[in-house]
A and B are shown apart, each in its own frame.
Chain A
Amino acid sequence: MIEARELSKIFRDKKRGEIRAVDRVSFTCTPGEIYGLLGANGAGKTTTLRMLATILSPTSGTAIVAGYDVVREPEKVRANIGFLSTATALYDRLTAFETVEYFGQLYGLDARIIEQRADELFKALDMEDFRDRRCAKLSTGMKQKVSIARTLIHNPSVMIFDEPTIGLDVMAARSIIDFIRQCRNRGKTVIFSTHVMTEVEKLCDRIGIIHGGQLRAEGTLEEMRDRYRKESLEEVFVEVSGDGQ
């Protein structure tokens, strides 16, 4: 479960002064649900997700993720989430297995459990052929699979995806989308940020449109279309994001 409560983040820049990247954002995402955070570049999606993953700390407000407070218990939050984004790269000089093993160790798992979980994941994701190949030598799709295995090694209850398909080819993007769907089917709480409308339409149970750091609209796809009397999500997005500009 994810419950964001008035999350805000202010960055201070010497030239530009105070930048309110996220402004009192509140929403809830329940287990077995995919929540899509939709927004243009610079809308505040990445900052919001980084705060949920405790990579950044909120300036004000808080969030409860997997039962833990992001401000007071950040390490417990991180121990119960899987965070995947295009910014979370892999170590080129480690093999696929060593990468997964390393993260298993960071999550405090025993060697035996790591071995067992890694075997299951490598089989499920069809990664056995490149298990001992260094990440530098892997294709983009293979790397994505290693990243997925890395986020799942500790079997987290909450998954956070920050624009996970950006820069990927169709096949690699498709495997990520399938994987996100599987996470929901296994009862995990999933939050997913993107600016690709079709991904949101295909995947998300509920959508939040973020613009200028504020959550401007929230609901299911149907609710959004009805509320704004638009045929497509894209039109809804333009209406909501254009508002107030």
Chain B
Amino acid sequence: MNLRNSLVVYRKELRDMLRDKRTIRSMAVMPLVAFPLLFLIIGYVGATFSGEAKTEIAPVMIRGGGDSPKILAALHHLSGIRVVPYRDDATEEVSDKKIRAVVDIPPGFDAAIGSGQPKKISIGYFENNDKSEEAESKLEKFFDKYRDQVVSAELTARGLPPNLIDPFTVKSKNVAPPSKVGAALFGGWIPYLIIIFSFTGATYPAMDLTAGEKERGTMETILSSPVSRTDIVMGKFLTVVTASVVTAILSLISMGASFAWAKPKLMAAAHATFQMSIEPSTVAVVVVMLLPLAILFASALLAVSLLAKSFREAQTYVGPMSFIVIAPAIIGAFPGVELNWKTALVPILNTSLVSKEIIGGSYPWLYIAAIFGMTCLYAGIAIGCAVRMFNREDVLFRT
């Protein structure tokens, strides 16, 4: 391989690529404008709905309780809920989201409390519906507190200390730094997005520089020059890697900036607190981890696109490839999926998981080294395949 020749090809391809509106769209406009916008809209809408659930005065029906005025009165005074007249189709009303919950008070509830006979209250709600779950949570807390008050009054009436039933308390508290808690929850999505952007950034140039060139008839022109085919494909490969890395970095910067700008607004809308801070050095390590992955994407995309005679045909080959990339990347983003020696063997998933660890503040150096080395190996094999394909006449001159 002659580096000078590859750099001549690289410079030309880069100039050509930067003049192509479609490449600029996929490399810069998408990550800088469209995706952050999408992310903000989805985030803002989600946060608004979540905030609405917390602030809503939930309509609730009460079945029974006619002989228990005390509990009924307490429920009517409970803030955050609004008792609406009971109807026989209360359960359907919950399912139809017309009311948030229905409370069943058994007959003789007030009297049973006085006589010490246990009674069961049930709350009907809509599982996985934010507003209904929020109402259910308020009701449950209310009944817990009401029970404590009843027990405390009973103990006092019998001359016993109110804390007799509570000889000790248990309190759980988070000891991890708030930034790590944030990273554990959302840290997986950062490598996922970088992986996706790195792949999409490489896709268009890879197809354009191979199948696109065949289609436009410029492939034979470059093949008639004295530069070896290996030098040509390496020049093209460097161009695709550049597009991939630039797209990933631009998307990272744009997402970081959008998040920093939108965070206070999102948190206020969701009535939540959330901390997440990522050091620039952490980002640098993640980018280094993703570099061999960008190389792997670039060479695999080049090798696959070379098989096609036209840009359109290349799209049909590259389409299924995106599923192969997205699936492990998305699995790695889930909070429950953790890095171990089994997951460390799976390409893309391993980089996603180790990046998640790094963002979370842990540096498992053995895994980092093994995964970096493994991805470099896969990338090397993929480069070898791309070079081999470019040296095959039946691939270059497929009719």
Contact = CB atoms under 8 A, between A and B. Distances in A.
Contacts of B275: none
Contacts, number: 62
B226 A79 contact: yes
B56 interface: no
Interface of A: 11-12, 53, 55-57, 75-76, 78-79, 81, 83, 85-94, 98, 102-103, 105-108, 150
Contacts of B226: 75-76, 78-79, 106-108
Interface in B1-33: 5, 8-9, 12, 15-16, 19-20
Contacts of B9: 106
B224 A53 contact: yes
Contact of A91 (B8, B218, B224, B227): B218
A106 B225 contact: yes
Contacts of A12: 394
A93 B20 contact: yes
B220 interface: yes
A56 B219 CA distance: 13
11 contacts: A55-B224, A75-B228, A78-B224, A81-B224, A83-B224, A89-B216, A93-B20, A94-B15, A94-B16, A102-B8, A102-B12
6 nearest A-B residue pairs (beta carbon)? A89-B217, A79-B226, A83-B224, A106-B225, A78-B226, A88-B221
Interface of B: 5, 8-9, 12, 15-16, 19-20, 216-218, 220-228, 393-394, 397
Q: Tell me whether chain B's interface is mostly helix, strand or loop, or mixed.
A: helix
A55 B397 CA distance: 10
B308 to A, nearest CB: 17
A56 B397 contact: yes
Contacts of A89: 216-218, 220-221
Contacts of B217: 86-89
Contact of B16 (A55, A83, A91): A91
Contacts of A75: 226-228
B211 to A, nearest CB: 14
Contacts of B397: 56
Nearest to B4: A108
Nearest to B7: A105
A93 B16 contact: yes
Given A57-B393, A102-B8, A106-B8, A92 B224 contact: no
